[in-house]
Structure 1
Amino acid sequence: MTPIFYAGVDTLSLRQLDLLNAAPKGTAFKAFRRCESQLREGVDYFYLPADKHAELIAQLKESQQVYATTVNLLLLTRVGYGRLQQLSAGVAG
């Protein structure tokens, strides 16, 4: 799986996380929403609104790195993915 390089770091989209974990569509998003208040934007994840990042989102849709239904893009960093896993398992770190 090819990471998405953004803001100087490798990130993964929610689609990539679902694929990585062999989980149904939406699983990574639901986990993110449950833990969002404990994650730091710009460190653990990046939120890219469609009105400012339409070209990048279109490219990622074309390469199938994000879901075709993606409007606004959410990218998790390696650190953020680790935190998400810890928080989802109930082990705050």
Structure 2
Amino acid sequence: MMNEPAFLHRGVEVWTLRQVDRASAVQKGTAFRAFKRRLPVLVEDRDFFVETIAAPSDEATARLLARMREAGALYQSSQAAILVTRNACTQMQGVASLRSQ
């Protein structure tokens, strides 16, 4: 994304939905709604990853989520982090007013 730094998860550049909202200057939830609309064509573990914040899948993910939290990349109320790739961001752009990734 242009003005949001990517995080590396399992060797893939990813962004949180909060970062997508912030980069696009849209209200909270816009990226999530776009994500849900594109979900039928997105493939988990290729286009996006879902990590439960309270129970990360491994230690590396726990450290990543901590860095994301420190960077303000996660909404405070989030129970799960949806991490989207550049391809997912491009797909989401087509259904919402999201800026180019």
Does the alignment reach a TM-score above 0.5? yes
Which structure dedicates a bigger proportion of its chain to helix?
Answer: 1
The 2-side partners of 1:55 and 1:4 are apart by: 11
The normalised TM-score by structure 2 is: 0.76
Give RMSD over aligned pairs. 1.6
Count of aligned pairs between the two proteins: 88
Q: Identity across aligned pairs (percent)?
A: 33
Poorly superposed stretches of 4+, deviation over 4 Å: none
The 2-side partners of 1:71 and 1:55 are apart by: 16
2:24 alignment partner AA: N
- Measured after TM superposition, the shift of residue 54 of structure 1 is 5.0
Answer yes or no: is 1:81 the counterpart of 2:78.
no
- Measured after TM superposition, the shift of residue 56 of structure 1 is 3.5
- Which consecutive residues of structure 1, in runs of 5 or more, have no partner in the other structure? none
Answer yes or no: is 1:44 the counterpart of 2:47.
yes
The normalised TM-score by structure 1 is: 0.82
Q: Between the two structures, name the one with larger relative contact order (CA 8 Å, sep ≥ 6).
A: 2
The 2-side partners of 1:79 and 1:56 are apart by: 21
CA contact (8 A) 1:15 1:67 kept: yes
- Which consecutive residues of structure 2, in runs of 5 or more, have no partner in the other structure? 97-101
- Measured after TM superposition, the shift of residue 55 of structure 1 is 4.9
